[in-house]
Structure 1
Amino acid sequence: MFRFSLWVFVVCLFAAVSSCGSKQSTNGLIPVEDFFVKPEKSNFKLSPDGSKIAYLGVDDHCKNIFVLDLHNKDRSKQLTYQSDMNVQYFFWASDSLIVYANSHSPGDSLRIFSIDVQSERSTALFPPKKGRLRWVSPQKLHRDYLLASLNDRDSTVFDLYKVYVDGRGLQLVTQNPGNVSSWFASPDGKVRLAVTSDSVQESILYRPDETAPFKQVSITDYQTQIRPLGFVKDSLDLIYALSNQGRDKLALVEYNIAIGREERLLYSNRHVDLEPEGYSDNLQQMVFSQYTLDKVEKHFFDPVFQKRFEKLSAQFKGQTVDILDTDTSLNRWIVKVYTDMHAGGIYFYDAATNEVRLLTEVNPKLTHAVLSPKEPISFQSRDGLTLHGYLTYPPNRRRESLPVVVLVHDGPNRRESVDFDAEVQFLANRGYLVFQPNYRGSSGYGKKFWAAGFKEWGGKIQSDIIDGVTWLIHQGIVDKNRVAIMGSGFGGYSALHAATYNSSFYKCAISMSGYTNLFTYFKEIPPHQQQYVRLFYNIIGDPSREYEMFKAISPVFHADKVKIPVLFAQGGNDRFSSLTDANQFVQKLKNNNVPIRYIYKEDEGRRFRSEENIIYYYQEVEAFLKDYLK
């Protein structure tokens, strides 16, 4: 089974008949809720033997686990019956056992359970705890326990534990000396590898067996990464890793952890970083490497798997096929098939029989809607850096003198690509060109490009965004008098920065959970991320040593400079954006008679999660842009 990020959740709906599709009006407008309605089913996962599929479905207004039996549909059933809280995530620990967590919200107490698929007996693995838990890879059952790290003893560090699935509780394996950020187990369940970090330097620690002490075998600076993926088959000394040591882009290498040396380069792409996908825990080998140019691409190492993938892809010509999960034999897959204009569907694929079965459409409301493609562009920054981005044009409009919404991605250590984006399609459907720039500091383009964004939150990153819009204006695509900027998190900060310092360039700004005060941003870093504070100092800046810079680029101190309308959305549980600072910023705008629409939802966090609140937010966005950008 391939390893996939715990935080990557695929949301989907069961297929609907065409009469349930989007009610696109005569003027082409699609209802807001059709873009942002919450799916009822998500997170499909194959059992290790490929006989069953589990997924999250909604029952009694809460997310619960359901199981599809691929051999006998009569044995398909609902497995959990939560009525007052959601199942936050789950995974197969074995062919018959699922481990899951439930809570009222992601920040709630830890509640971890195992459940036997046949008997439906659920067992609490330990009493509810305040803290965070990280499952150790590979995420599979070792006899009667799983491995996990937990910040129970000390909220700032993660100790290594055995978590017994029969409810016996936790057993401490290794106490964190204070700087271990990740633990890794070999296929036999022995933890032989650890990664430490002090924010400035990162080290790999190795021990031949669990009776030996860890020894440091490599040390790198914070810009250099050696990211373990898994052990090489029949070796306890060699691992597959992504590394940019001695190169600009993350490449796939074989790395000797006994002596801390790269043994050989397996694959690289000269344009972009490779991504941590394609390693089979069961086979202990790389099946493929993955990277994103504009779309997701793959380089295969297993010719049989490659032929299967190509055979499947041939049934979906012109569409992107993402592998979400496989069984341990790699014979059965769950895939997502989509384009930038179609949310697509989740499919089950049996390579042995060539069966392809639709499990659910991602958003049947938009199946027959007329949407717009994302088109890649590149342009030069004022200091000569080549930047990439994407344009999504409003359908059935001339491509000249258009109003534009500059949609700034969060991070900054993220990137845009050609994928399906409901927010982008909503804005394009409302008649706006959508511009998504991958400014300096965005991820995926190598460490030089990433480092070019260091300490430039309020400087060259914002200039990159302006340079992109200026290029569009010079091309005749954009009306210079109708430029809006919008984003969440860092994108929201960019919108507030634009309203504060570039009111003559932008017509209006929309911020979801944007940072108003970067001093507060550092104060709100949670205990389990404190070890990365010095890294943040290098990337963002040191608020004590660079006080004047922080004050200069924090919008809350310069609200009197805002001259354009602002829509500001804020959640009461957003730990990175202080409610006090947000209220102060909004009040200053009101005092200065600047048009301000303030959306505050007490129970929301950094992004709104409630379907009702999400739809309300975009209804307000629609009205705001209609008033100030049309």
Structure 2
Amino acid sequence: MTKKVEGITRAKYSIEQFMNSESIVDVSISHDDESILFGSDKTGVYNAYATNKNGELSQQLSHSTSDAIFPVTFFPEDKRFLYESDRGGNEITHLFLQDENGQSKDLTPGEQEKVMFQGWSADKKSFFYQSNKRDNRFMDLYEMDIEAFTSSMLFQNNEGYQIASISPDKSFLALHKPITANNSDMYIFSPSTGIEHVSPHDGDTQYTPVAFDKESNYLYFLTDEANEFLHLKRIHVTSKTVETVAKEEWNILTAKFSPNHSYLLYLVNNNSKIELKMMDTMSGEYVEIPDLPDGQISGVTISKSEKLMVFLLNSSSSPSNLYVYDFSKKKLQCLTDTLNPEIEQSDLVEAKVVHYSSFDGLTIPAIYYEPHLEDGEKAPALVWVHGGPGGQSMVNYNPVFQYLANHGYAILAVNNRGSSGYGKTFFKAADLKHGEVDLADCIEAKKYLTATGRIDENRIGIIGGSYGGYMTLAALAFQPEAFKVGVDIFGVSNWERTLKNIPSWWEAVRDVLYKKLGNPYTATEYIRSISPLFHAENITKPLIVLQGANDPRVLKVESDEIVESVKKNGVPVEYIVFEDEGHGFTKRENRITGYRAIKKFLDRYL
């Protein structure tokens, strides 16, 4: 199927073609610099793969046909590797070892034990991981040797700290303690002196530890102290003197050292685009990567020898590809071509960052995907709302956006107030006002779309996942004439139930969520006032709902009940449940089914 636009014939592609592009995640480099480990959904389910540093001899290492496998790291001296996997999207992640013969072993077999890999010890004879097997509310820190695979607890976490970093000499442990979404504290633990508070402050300020230096003298941390954005500082662990390491005009998201600490790397969220900054720790000079394509970087990993760096890079019209950079040759090479060869990239649309004024004059950033249109043609449009609360839409490749744009729908991914990435004032501007001011920002997005002259103002819908799914339901319930249709992807309908039933391992941030959204035990009336389920009689526009049966964050009952309630209104409602998915759909077959249904629904009602 083709369409001629401005003299150019552009092909129309099926959802199968878009989903048959490869998705790559999670990279690691072997001890000898010869192999690169990564995750891919090439078979339809995420599995572990490896390729050599020239992108040749790629081979599949794991062969799951059900649960997603996400590789974590090669072993320090051989080609064994660790991977994480859960069951059906339940988020109870275990840590597995796969040997060089392809045999796997669950290293953390507790049925309800959730585990997160933390990192390798300096001598590479053991690794650290977090586990909630002692108390399902809190993550303790363990060390496991790689000879007998026996583990011992290094830190018992009784106060809901987030374990951030371990010093190379194992003398210190950096801890993070959220107070609210806008305020947090930082601590240093040592077995000899216990826990020490190292970020005393007044008011809302973030302190997030990220890494220790090679000598275990300094702790590097992110803070927005006296600033709208997070910058990088370091504190001496004994003298407690503090100095600034790096400051940008946007948030620094994270920072880490290369294996031998020759480089300090950090990522900057530059107006919804992720940029890499790399500093030579000896000279303090920044290292530039020549011929780096425009796009967003993730998964940055430097090899043990520090001769190679691998990373993933995507753009709004290209899925993530695997790159390797040779420091000595100053050579950058792309090892993959993940876009389905049946799709011409020129047929896709380039997203652009736009801004519009909201109801009170506040400037709202957004990412705009406009379909290829003939002169005078006006398209239907969708306002997309990200997850969270507090998430952010980025200039990423999104196959659903491209699929819908390819079939004539414009997408405006709104970063409403309360979104991260635009300073702490913007981030907290929707606290205890969710479903109100943030929803108003989404409704004001219609004015931007109409003002382009390219959008049919009578055909604008709203779509989102998780918190964005909640915003979809909120729009239909609280502003029932604002949008023509709603697409709810595992969205919250009843905050009272969701906030009372957050996963046990979220205990450390339970109060943070309550302070942001409202306490379901003490502010029941308010919580119900912002919950669409209690106002479902107002929903009069067509609705489609997608839900994973194993979702531990937004329980299936949230979608069950809103669907049943809206059906009573005589409103067209479609409901799709995936029995083997959780909070997000990892299996290609399910994504195809779900996104095809969304387009069919939009074609019918929008």
Normalization by structure 2: what TM-score? 0.89
Deviation at 1:48, TM superposition (A): 4.3
User: Separation in 2 of the partners of 1:295 and 1:588?
Assistant: 40
2:279 counterpart (290, 301, 307): 301
Deviation at 1:188, TM superposition (A): 2.2
Tell me which residue corresponds to 1:377: 354
Tell me which residue corresponds to 1:12: none
Equivalent residues in 2 for 1:401-420 (5 A)? Answer: 401-420=378-397
1:33 and 2:16 aligned = yes
1:362 and 2:338 aligned = yes
Instruction: Give the partner amino acid of 1:90.
Output: V
Amino-acid identity (%): 23
1:350 and 2:326 aligned = yes
- Tell me the secondary structure at the aligned position of residue 69 of structure 2: strand
User: Separation in 2 of the partners of 1:333 and 1:273?
Assistant: 23
User: Separation in 1 of the partners of 2:262 and 2:286?
Assistant: 20
Q: Mark the CA change 1:260 to 1:124 in structure 2 (over 3 Å): closer, same or farther.
A: same
Q: Deviations over 1:273-308 (max 9, x none)?
A: 111045324316524552322433344433999886
User: Separation in 1 of the partners of 2:332 and 2:264?
Assistant: 25
Tell me which residue corresponds to 2:76: 94
Q: Mark the CA change 1:247 to 1:211 in structure 2 (over 3 Å): closer, same or farther.
A: same
Q: Mark the CA change 1:496 to 1:103 in structure 2 (over 3 Å): closer, same or farther.
A: closer
Q: Mark the CA change 1:284 to 1:105 in structure 2 (over 3 Å): closer, same or farther.
A: farther
2:222 counterpart (242, 245, 256): 242
User: Separation in 2 of the partners of 1:73 and 1:38?
Assistant: 19
Instruction: Give the partner amino acid of 1:231.
Output: F
Deviation at 1:390, TM superposition (A): 1.7
Q: Deviations over 1:434-478 (max 9, x none)?
A: 111111111111111111021122110000111122233245343
More divergent stretch after superposition (283-292 vs 420-429): 283-292
Tell me which residue corresponds to 2:156: 175
Q: Mark the CA change 1:474 to 1:70 in structure 2 (over 3 Å): closer, same or farther.
A: closer
Deviation at 1:60, TM superposition (A): 8.7
Instruction: Give the partner amino acid of 1:107.
Output: N
Q: Mark the CA change 1:590 to 1:143 in structure 2 (over 3 Å): closer, same or farther.
A: closer
1:519 and 2:496 aligned = yes
- Tell me the secondary structure at the aligned position of residue 521 of structure 2: coil
Tell me which residue corresponds to 2:133: 152
Deviation at 1:254, TM superposition (A): 2.0
- Tell me the secondary structure at the aligned position of residue 310 of structure 1: coil
Deviation at 1:114, TM superposition (A): 3.3
Listed as ranges, the gaps of 5+ residues in structure 1 are 1-22
Tell me which residue corresponds to 1:51: 34
Q: Deviations over 1:208-251 (max 9, x none)?
A: x53332322324579422122212343x3422211112222101
Tell me which residue corresponds to 1:541: 518
Equivalent residues in 2 for 1:51-450 (5 A)? Answer: 51-56=34-39, 64-70=47-53, 79-80=61-62, 86-96=68-78, 97-107=80-90, 111-117=94-100, 124-136=106-118, 138-140=119-121, 142-197=123-178, 202-207=184-189, 210-219=191-200, 223-234=204-215, 236-258=216-238, 260=240, 263-270=242-249, 272-277=250-255, 279-283=257-261, 285-302=263-280, 309-313=288-292, 316=293, 318=294, 324-343=300-319, 345-354=321-330, 356-365=332-341, 367-369=343-345, 370-398=347-375, 401-450=378-427
Instruction: Give the partner amino acid of 2:145.
Output: Y
RMSD of aligned residue pairs (Cα, Å): 3.2
2:571 counterpart (591, 594, 610): 594
Q: Deviations over 1:410-442 (max 9, x none)?
A: 112221232222121111111111111111111
Instruction: Give the partner amino acid of 2:339.
Output: N
Q: Mark the CA change 1:64 to 1:141 in structure 2 (over 3 Å): closer, same or farther.
A: farther
Q: Deviations over 1:500-523 (max 9, x none)?
A: 122212111111111111111112
More divergent stretch after superposition (335-344 vs 60-69): 60-69
Task: Check the 8 A contact 1:110/1:130 in 2, yes or no.
Answer: no
User: Separation in 1 of the partners of 2:178 and 2:382?
Assistant: 39
Q: Deviations over 1:515-543 (max 9, x none)?
A: 11111111221111123222111111112
Deviation at 1:38, TM superposition (A): 6.5
User: Separation in 1 of the partners of 2:104 and 2:499?
Assistant: 40
1:616 counterpart (590, 593, 605): 593
More divergent stretch after superposition (612-621 vs 62-71): 62-71
Instruction: Give the partner amino acid of 1:248.
Output: E
Q: Mark the CA change 1:259 to 1:100 in structure 2 (over 3 Å): closer, same or farther.
A: same
Q: Which runs of 4+ in 1 moved over 6 A?
A: 58-62, 71-74, 303-308
User: Separation in 2 of the partners of 1:233 and 1:419?
Assistant: 34
Tell me which residue corresponds to 2:6: none
Task: Check the 8 A contact 1:390/1:436 in 2, yes or no.
Answer: yes
User: Separation in 2 of the partners of 1:445 and 1:243?
Assistant: 15
- Tell me the secondary structure at the aligned position of residue 240 of structure 1: strand
User: Separation in 2 of the partners of 1:143 and 1:302?
Assistant: 24
User: Separation in 2 of the partners of 1:576 and 1:123?
Assistant: 28
Deviation at 1:110, TM superposition (A): 5.5
Instruction: Give the partner amino acid of 1:45.
Output: S
Deviation at 1:73, TM superposition (A): 7.5
User: Separation in 2 of the partners of 1:322 and 1:58?
Assistant: 17
More divergent stretch after superposition (43-52 vs 418-427): 43-52
1:572 and 2:549 aligned = yes
- Tell me the secondary structure at the aligned position of residue 536 of structure 1: helix
Q: Mark the CA change 1:620 to 1:395 in structure 2 (over 3 Å): closer, same or farther.
A: same
Task: Check the 8 A contact 1:123/1:166 in 2, yes or no.
Answer: no
Q: Mark the CA change 1:278 to 1:462 in structure 2 (over 3 Å): closer, same or farther.
A: same
User: Separation in 1 of the partners of 2:244 and 2:471?
Assistant: 39
Query: How many pairs are equivalent?
Result: 597
User: Separation in 2 of the partners of 1:443 and 1:40?
Assistant: 25
More divergent stretch after superposition (196-205 vs 160-169): 196-205
More divergent stretch after superposition (467-476 vs 302-311): 302-311
Equivalent residues in 2 for 1:3-22 (5 A)? Answer: none
User: Separation in 1 of the partners of 2:472 and 2:564?
Assistant: 18
Instruction: Give the partner amino acid of 1:92.
Output: F
Task: Check the 8 A contact 1:224/1:244 in 2, yes or no.
Answer: yes
Listed as ranges, the gaps of 5+ residues in structure 2 are 4-8
Instruction: Give the partner amino acid of 2:310.
Output: I
